[in-house]
């Protein structure tokens, strides 16, 4: 069996930053560190951090007075920020800088007097946080049908923003529908849409050209991971979302010679390795990797944590 790895795959810069904030906060201040919502949408990552002393909560009223608190990579509403200030909770904000950029875009459009539309999925943590960061009502659309159902005058000055786990390709049809229906529409340039989402989707499309079956490593509640699986299915290939190697079903691979393997932006490399190990139990495996985009972007850490080594770095230093 040939296993062909997508490139890029797995962790993006925003996820790396968020996980490092939790790890370094634990190193500097000790356990427990309270994290509002899952730091990223991956069960393995959450469980690993929980084992190190992180406590995950959905509401700040679950956080004891004075306890170190981290906001997840998805961002939070202003009401959450205000509650943390009211309770004098020490907070590290692990919101992805690209999500923060969407917040700022939304505020800028609202300040200019435009009606705001967000392209995203109802109930997603990032959408909830973004809508709560803007002081005006935000209309949410996911499909072209949602655009048709917007109860707004056709000459309304409109602006759109997008959920970062949606790519240029995911949003193109909805943006076109907005432009076709409304005469005064503005929004961010396509180059401002999350690079990691677009790169991983483009890599899966390349993978579909050479594979017989697609495996995506990621959690069910990961929007970007689920979309990668859907892309494979859209190309007509059997496509499966797996948490790790334990989820592999040998029956999937009858008559399959080339397996395309990728991972969502919140899935670590070790889970990809566990899938390869599981495939090796089915027979000989030859692993190769497609050429792809080199992602060199890094996001800075909060000043208070920059000189704190992660557990891995600390082990190297002590050795």
One domain, residues 147 and 114: yes
Q: Of 23, 38, 81, 126, which is the active-site residue? A: 126
One domain, residues 219 and 200: yes
One domain, residues 187 and 232: no
Residue 23 φ then ψ, to 5°: -65, -45
One domain, residues 187 and 247: no
Look up the pTM and report it: 0.92
In a domain, 294, yes or no: no
Domain edge (last residue) among 192, 210, 232: 192
CATH number of 270's domain: 3.40.1010.20
One domain, residues 32 and 19: yes
Domain edge (last residue) among 144, 167, 192: 192
In a domain, 214, yes or no: yes
Q: Which helix (H) or strand (E) holds 145?
A: helix 144-148
In a domain, 247, yes or no: yes
Q: Other C-beta atoms within 10 Å of 281: how many? A: 10
DSSP string covering 160-184, please? EEE-TTS-HHHHHHHHHHHHHH-SE
Residue 86 burial by CB count (10 A; 0-12/13-18/19+): exposed, middle or buried? exposed
Cβ–Cβ under 8 Å, residues 279 and 22: no
Residue 84: the pLDDT is 97
One domain, residues 271 and 214: yes
Number of compact structural domains in the chain? 3
One domain, residues 281 and 203: yes
One domain, residues 280 and 210: yes
Cβ–Cβ under 8 Å, residues 84 and 91: yes
One domain, residues 175 and 215: no
Told to judge if 304 belongs to the known catalytic residues of this protein, a careful annotator would answer no
Distance CA 310, CA 274 (A): 23
Place of tokens 């990668």: 228
Residue 121: the pLDDT is 94
Q: Which helix (H) or strand (E) holds 102?
A: helix 97-111
Residue 193: the pLDDT is 78
The residue range of the domain holding 66 is 13-96+299-318
If we measure between CA atoms, which residue out of 226, 232, 222 comes closest to residue 258?
A: 232
One domain, residues 88 and 120: no
Q: Which two tokens stand for residue 317?
A: 């230093």
In a domain, 74, yes or no: yes
One domain, residues 92 and 157: no
One domain, residues 42 and 125: no
Domain edge (last residue) among 138, 165, 192: 192
If we measure between CA atoms, which residue out of 204, 235, 250 comes closest to residue 5?
A: 204
Q: Which two tokens stand for residue 227?
A: 């979309």
pLDDT one digit per residue (tens) for the chain, 319 residues: 999 999 999 999 999 999 999 999 999 999 999 999 999 999 999 999 999 999 999 999 999 999 999 999 999 999 999 999 999 999 999 999 999 999 999 999 999 999 999 999 999 999 999 999 999 999 999 999 999 999 999 999 999 999 998 888 889 999 999 999 999 999 998 777 788 999 999 999 999 999 999 999 999 999 899 999 999 999 999 999 999 999 999 999 999 999 999 999 999 999 999 999 999 999 999 999 999 999 999 999 999 999 988 765 544 333 4
Residue 118 φ then ψ, to 5°: -110, 130
CATH number of 32's domain: 3.40.50.11270
Distance CA 116, CA 206 (A): 35
The dihedral of CA 39, 42, 45, 47: what is its sign?
Answer: positive
Three-state DSSP class for residue 240: strand
Three-state DSSP class for residue 255: coil
Residue 308: the pLDDT is 87
Cβ–Cβ under 8 Å, residues 117 and 150: yes
In a domain, 142, yes or no: yes
């Amino acid at each position: 069996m040939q296993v062909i790895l997508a490139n890029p795959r797995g962790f993006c810069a925003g996820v790396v930053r968020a996980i490092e904030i939790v790890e370094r906060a634990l190193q500097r201040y000790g356990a427990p560190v309270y994290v509002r919502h899952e730091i990223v949408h991956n069960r393995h990552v959450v469980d690993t951090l929980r084992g190190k002393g992180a406590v995950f909560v959905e509401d700040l009223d679950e956080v004891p007075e004075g306890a170190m608190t981290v906001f997840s990579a998805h961002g939070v509403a202003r009401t959450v920020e205000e509650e943390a200030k009211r309770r004098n909770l020490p907070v590290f904000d692990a919101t992805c800088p690209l999500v923060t950029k969407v917040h700022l875009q939304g505020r800028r459009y609202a300040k200019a007097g435009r009606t705001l539309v967000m392209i995203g999925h109802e109930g997603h943590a990032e959408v909830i946080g973004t809508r709560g960061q803007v002081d005006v009502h935000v209309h949410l659309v996911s499909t072209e049908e949602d655009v048709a159902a917007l109860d707004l005058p056709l000459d309304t000055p409109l602006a759109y923003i997008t959920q970062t786990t949606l790519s240029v390709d995911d949003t193109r049809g909805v943006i076109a529908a907005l432009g076709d229906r409304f005469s005064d529409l503005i929004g961010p340039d396509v180059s401002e849409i999350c690079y990691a989402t677009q790169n991983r989707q483009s890599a899966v499309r390349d993978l579909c050209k050479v594979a017989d079956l697609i495996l995506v490593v990621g959690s069910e509640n990961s929007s970007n991971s689920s979309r990668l699986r859907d892309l494979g299915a859209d190309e007509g290939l059997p496509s499966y979302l797996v948490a790790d190697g334990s989820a592999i079903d040998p029956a999937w691979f009858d008559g399959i010679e080339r397996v395309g393997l990728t991972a969502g932006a919140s899935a670590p490399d070790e889970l990809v390795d566990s899938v390869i190990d599981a495939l090796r139990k089915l027979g000989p495996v030859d692993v190769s990797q497609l050429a792809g985009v080199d992602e060199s972007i890094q996001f800075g850490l909060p000043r208070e944590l920059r000189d704190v080594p992660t557990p891995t770095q600390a082990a190297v230093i002590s050795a």
